[in-house]
A and B are shown apart, each in its own frame.
Chain A
Amino acid sequence: MANKERTPFENPVVEWVDSRLPVFTLMQKEYGVFPTPKNFNYFWNFGAIAMFMLITMIVTGIVLAMHYTANTELAFDSVERIMREVNGGWLIRYIHMNGASFFFIAVYIHIFRGMYYGSYKAPREILWMLGVLIFLLMMGTAFIGYVLPWGQMSLWGATVITNLFSAIPFVGDGIRTLLWGGFSVDNPTLTRFFALHYLLPFVIFAVVFLHVWALHVTGSNNPLGIDTKGPQDTLPFHPYYTIKDTFGLLVFVLIYALFIFFMPNALGHPDNYIPANPMVTPAHIVPEWYFLPFYAMLRAITFDIGIPFTDIVFINAKLGGVIVMFGSILLWFVLPWLDTHPIRSARFRPLFKIFLLILVADFIFLGYVGMQTADAKLFGVVPLIYLGQAATAYYLAYFLVILPWLSKNEKGRELPASINEAVLAKNK
């Protein structure tokens, strides 16, 4: 089918291959001449950066897997052997370890971009939902990956998180046992987590493929949030955005390298350099930084939900926390239907912009709360738990109340006629 529209290539080898399997035509169409809005800012780099991080993680991960042993007796030692004896092993492990953090940094910025410029709105709902799915898969992969070194945080993080599943009514205990393969987090758990940690990145890769496919059907959103109206609004992807993405990527990698080589353990926890001990829980267990806001929302639910002044409880605190934590991400799936305002970009929605930036601050604050002990107080006075509850309430209200309300009531500013006009006006 595609053969009919094919223009022949000059190089005879390329032409020979392409006339049989039009991969070059495909690349040319999707990454060469692909029309891309000409007004991207640097926020649009983070998709490519996330892609780079995924590939980095897969490549270093495969090499690490060749040296790693998934057995509770040997896992910690095998990781230390990578650090000390394998040629350049410390470098590969530090790239992988910090890579998880930098993958999340790139993806969080990418998600923020999507929220700020309304990239989730029609016709890009499926593109957005695939992105949320990727984020969920990343969280799962990162969590089980953190278990593999079998340090104290590995064991106790895994214990706490797998115990969350026991909150689910009726089937919870069964699910937990299924995850454990025993009576606690132990050797069977570690072995299956390793298998899953190897598998999931390829699942992510497949969903990323769908994500990019969906992107190339609808085309990219842009900082103005208005549709492209013709060739005057776009540029071919290559060389304009290949070059710009490479530049942005290099700046990102520069900061990433600063961590790898000069503070490789700054984002980790010292307790994970103590071999796992099922008899002793560390004094203060915290998840990795990228989970902290969600961890704070989990801990914010300290109360049962039921009929007041009776003993009737519908949802106990444990289940409530789990629902809020998972719900806080699942809400993103329906974001396109919570925010139905016709204007995409926050540039033309002053009220929306304020509430969204508050949400970002709220989310970072939740991360701070998640890092502290359960009984911590802000400035030694205000119990953090209440502030965490307030922050959780704002988070939920933003999606469930503020966005639907703004959709109906915010007027918004006048949109420019076209991308080209806006670009020309700006450069006057």
Chain B
Amino acid sequence: MTTIKADDVKRRDFLQLTAGGFGIVGVIAAATPLVNSLNPAKDTLALATTEVDISTIPPGEGRTVTWQGKPVFIKHRTPEEIKEAEDVNLALLGDKEIDSDRVKRPEWLVAIGICTHLGCVPTGQKMTEARGDYGGWFCPCHGSHYDTSGRIRKGPAPKNLAVPPYEFISDTVIKIG
């Protein structure tokens, strides 16, 4: 074998570095669609709205509907519940939000029914279920208590129940999403 000259080595280094660069770009380009395919598909995203007829929900009762595969609590609040939610001293809240920022119409609370702690579904939609110390919802997994505005009052959950984007299409129909 002949000996390798110094400028040979240099050129090889440059060439090999460029080739290595191409290799890295190629691998990343090939991996991108594979990873991206795991994101929600187009038909999944297209089904991102749900319409609900709320005319049949009596005051004090709730209805749970599915939106993007998640439970959404729609609660027809009684005047007492509304008053309770509105009169809370903000200083007592962990996640400070006033009730009027969380509802579009005071009688209707719409919130995603997933405990902000670790994702369980709290109870309290039915009259017969435990509603916790604040008359809203109670998460049986780790004991988080939510009030009638879906705000966290006691327990490990860090945040209030999230409010999904929604609108009133008419007095009796809301569209979530």
- Residue positions of A touching B, CB distance < 8 A: 59-60, 63, 66-67, 81, 84-89, 91-92, 246
Contacts and interface: CB of A to CB of B under 8 A. Distances in A.
A87 to B, nearest CB: 5
Contacts of B34: 59-60, 63, 88, 92
A408 to B, nearest CB: 42
B89 interface: no
B38 A66 contact: yes
A91 B33 contact: yes
Interface in B136-162: none
Interface of B: 19, 23, 33-34, 36-39, 41-44
Which secondary structure characterizes the binding site on chain B? Answer: helix
A396 B55 CA distance: 80
B37 A63 contact: yes
B39 A87 contact: yes
A66 to B, nearest CB: 7
12 contacts: A63-B38, A81-B41, A84-B43, A85-B41, A85-B42, A85-B44, A86-B42, A87-B42, A88-B33, A88-B37, A91-B33, A92-B34
Nearest to A38: B1
Contact of A88 (B19, B36, B43): B36
A66 B44 CA distance: 15
A66 B41 CA distance: 12
Contacts, number: 38
Which secondary structure characterizes the binding site on chain A? Answer: helix
A89 B38 contact: no
B44 A87 contact: no
Contacts of B37: 63, 66-67, 86-89, 92
Contacts of B41: 67, 81, 85-87, 89
A77 to B, nearest CB: 11
Nearest to B31: A59
Contacts of B44: 85
Contacts of A89: 37, 41
A59 B89 CA distance: 56
B150 to A, nearest CB: 34
B33 A92 contact: yes
A67 B34 CA distance: 12
Contacts of A67: 37, 41
A140 to B, nearest CB: 26
A230 to B, nearest CB: 13
Contacts of A86: 37, 41-42
Nearest to A232: B1
Contacts of B38: 63, 66
B36 A87 contact: yes
Contacts of A91: 33
A77 B167 CA distance: 34
A269 to B, nearest CB: 25
Which of A59, A85, A92, A246 gathers most chain B CB within 10 Å?
Answer: A85
Contacts of B36: 87-88
